[in-house]
Structure 1
Amino acid sequence: MTVAIRLTRVGSHKKPVYRIVAASKEKAVQKKFIEILGVYNPCSSTNQFTINKDKFDKWISLGAKPSDTVMSLVKKQGK
């Protein structure tokens, strides 16, 4: 089973909020995921982004591949 770290949308119409999740690549984007790693809210005034670095590092060490969007958000937070 290949695992991807990606965003899944949970917000309402015109107010998106995204969860950063570890999910199987074979599952559709809105289907079951393995674990929630963080939250991204692009509509807030500060572009709220929180991620549990311990969980993120654990999944990376287990071979999960983050999406390009997730990697760019993590790099921005690392500043």
Structure 2
Amino acid sequence: MIRLARVGARKQPHYRIVVIEKDRARNGRSVEVVGTYNPRTNPATVDLKRDRIAYWTGNGAQLSDRVEKLLAAAPKAEVAPAA
């Protein structure tokens, strides 16, 4: 499953977007970190490794509801043309 893991100090949330087994605890040992989400910036900052997310979803990983919304809302990265 791909979901959020909370990090950061008390009342200062910052999240990692992680690939983790579904039965593990929210902040349990993850397989891979595939992004970060910081809701405290204006606007909220989302950094994603889209290629790794596509790899894991291709291998059967499910997205949590919140991560699915973050993926839809995050702008696609600009690809520079090959020179």
TM-score (normalised: structure 2): 0.87
SS of 1:24's partner is coil
Could you tell me how far 1:78 is from its partner in structure 2? 4.1
Task: List alignment gaps of at least 5 residues for structure 1.
Answer: none
Establish whether residue 33 from structure 1 lines up as the match of residue 52 from structure 2.
no
Deviations 1:1-53 (A, max 9, x none): xxx00000011111100000000012111110000000000001220001000
The count of residues paired between Structure 1 and Structure 2 equals: 76
Moved over 4 A (4+): none
Larger radius of gyration: 2
Task: List alignment gaps of at least 5 residues for structure 2.
Answer: 77-83
User: What is the percent sequence identity of the aligned residues?
Assistant: 37
The one-letter amino acid paired with 1:30 is: N
**Of Structure 1 and Structure 2, which has the larger fraction of its residues in strand?**
1
What's the Cα RMSD here? 1.0
